[in-house]
Structure 1
Amino acid sequence: MTIQGIDVAYTAVATAENGRDGRVSTDDGRLDVVVNPPKEMGGSGAGTNPEQLFAAGYSACFQGALGVVARKEKADISGSTVTAAVSIGKTEAGGFGLQVAISASIPNLDAETARSLVEKAHQVCPYSNATRGNITVDLSVV
């Protein structure tokens, strides 16, 4: 597998204290959240968790990529939404892994055009590029 090089435009910096049961904050102070394991994993569920944060970032990034592709193809994606469902569970090797389901709603387009745009967005989205070949990412148009 080839590692992709980039011309860095921006670097986000976040620091975690106490791992999955603590706090995460960014160096600019714009994000400062309590993280706790979800109840389904034996935690309190009182705060957010890394999977929710990953889902939020992935959905926003994918929506942005969808916009880039739509502009190039002069497609109307107004009113569209992208939802990322991030799941965590045990792997066969004994560790933990993730899988993602991306669903897009694009009300102004027919199903075939919407599906084509979603597949193209998956090729340019930085989160998709980072996860490609590492985890399962399912795409759907709803």
Structure 2
Amino acid sequence: MKKRLAPPPITLLDKYVGDDFHPLYSTTVRVSGGEAAHGRASGIARSDDGNLELALRLPSALGGPGGGTNPEQLFAAGFAACFHGALNLLATRAGIALEDATVDAAVTFGRDPVDGLYTLMAEIRIDLPRVPRATAEELIRNTERICPYAKMARQGIVCVVALVR
């Protein structure tokens, strides 16, 4: 019999006290260029543990062939999954049942009026059926405070870009 998947423990909500960033998990995804020698247009994305391997394709809306995923979809998936998870942890701690809760993350790639280049916009839409509106709004506000993707979107992220060779 297959073991049933369980949600993470609510102890993940325990506050950390320390002076430095405390890493809990790290992963690496490598993108190679593929047929067009261009990661976004024809790349292959592979995770270091082998659990992720997919073809990247430029969406038809940007002049590509479509037929694969793209960075915006991957970011939206991560954002929605993280927000949904944080939402569920907070609801569990508060004794609120979230039956059929959904989180949609819409990520839009577009032109940046500040520098004329590119930027992303994200919109998160949450559906919490059978949860009173005031309770749902408070739960969502609190989730925004703890979801790392929401914090990154609001505050930025430490990012190091380094040449390896």
Instruction: State the TM-score, normalizing by the size of structure 2.
Output: 0.75
5+ unaligned residues in a row in structure 2: which ranges?
A: 1-18, 34-38, 157-165
Report the Cα distance in structure 2 between the residues aligned to 1:109 and 1:129, rounded to whole angstroms.
24
Q: Does the C-alpha gap of structure 1 residues 45 and 5 become closer, same or farther in structure 2, counting only changes over 3 Å?
A: farther
1:23, CA displacement in angstroms? Answer: 1.0
**What CA deviation, in whole Å up to 9, does each residue of 1:53-110 have, x standing for no partner?**
1111111100011012112222111211111111110101111111111111111201
Is the counterpart of residue 31 in structure 1 residue 52 in structure 2? yes
What amino acid maps onto 1:9 in structure 2? L
**Counterpart of 2:131?**
109
Q: What's the RMSD between the two structures over aligned residues?
A: 1.5
Is the counterpart of residue 62 in structure 1 residue 88 in structure 2? no
Is the counterpart of residue 14 in structure 1 residue 14 in structure 2? no
Q: Work out the number of aligned pairs and report it.
A: 131
Report the Cα distance in structure 1 between the residues aligned to 2:155 and 2:62, rounded to whole angstroms.
26
What amino acid maps onto 2:80 in structure 1? S
What amino acid maps onto 1:26 in structure 2? S
Report the Cα distance in structure 2 between the residues aligned to 1:10 and 1:86, rounded to whole angstroms.
25
Report the Cα distance in structure 2 between the residues aligned to 1:32 and 1:81, rounded to whole angstroms.
25
> Kindly, what percent of the aligned residue pairs are identical?
36
Greater strand percent: which structure? 1
Q: Does the C-alpha gap of structure 1 residues 37 and 90 become closer, same or farther in structure 2, counting only changes over 3 Å?
A: same
**Counterpart of 2:143?**
121
| Local SS of the residue matching 1:104 | strand
Report the Cα distance in structure 2 between the residues aligned to 1:102 and 1:117, rounded to whole angstroms.
14
**Counterpart of 1:99?**
121
Report the Cα distance in structure 1 between the residues aligned to 2:135 and 2:67, rounded to whole angstroms.
41
Report the Cα distance in structure 2 between the residues aligned to 1:20 and 1:45, rounded to whole angstroms.
11
Is the counterpart of residue 49 in structure 1 residue 70 in structure 2? yes
Runs of 4 or more consecutive aligned structure 1 residues displaced over 4 Å after TM superposition: none
